Amino acid sequence: MKKLIVILLTFLMLFSLIGCNDDDETGGGTAQKEEMKITNINQLRLQTATPPPKIEKSLERENLRERLIRFNDENKVSYIYLLSDMGSVITFFPIKGKVSSVNSMLTTTEQIITGGYSDNRWGTAISSPDLDGSYGSNGDAIFFFTTEGVYCEWNGRYFLCDRPLKLTTAPLLIYDTE
């Protein structure tokens, strides 16, 4: 039954393309349209020959759900290890809450304007100012709060774990809790 449906869809697609005008605004496009037909026919054949499996449970979704539940807890204690470019541990911190991007925002990053500057009837997206009135990126970094409430920001590689790790070498910097 699936093969019959695919065959019918293939013929329907081919017959619908026969009446198409090959001239586009640039005066060409015939080769691209023929290649699109070939690609579509081939994809339909491959979908019939090797259909995607129907899965009952998505482990990817389960992992995403568990990560959200686990780290979206203001009292969650985790351990972050800040790494050098060579992979050695520079320092580590016990943290409370979650690691966040400095580019996360509480409001939308874009506004849609219509009229004025926009020739598009749907509007044009422009950058929104941050809540402090400034524009632009905050760079590529993460931030977090230690279990003592100290704010830390880092723009390098890191490793996050919800259990402390045993280090085989001493970190380059030691966190002083006093």
pLDDT number for residue 15: 58
Q: What per-residue confidence (pLDDT) applies to 173?
A: 86
Q: What is the pLDDT, as a whole number, of residue 102?
A: 92
Average pLDDT estimate for 150-167: 95
Per-residue pLDDT, averaged over 92-117, amounts to: 87
| Mean pLDDT of the chain, nearest integer | 85
3-state helix vs strand vs coil in the chain, percent to 5: 30, 25, 50
Strands (DSSP E) contained in 62-139 are 77-83, 89-101, 110-113, 124-127
What pTM was computed for the model?
Answer: 0.63
Lowest mean pLDDT among 29-33, 85-89, 122-126, 144-148: 122-126
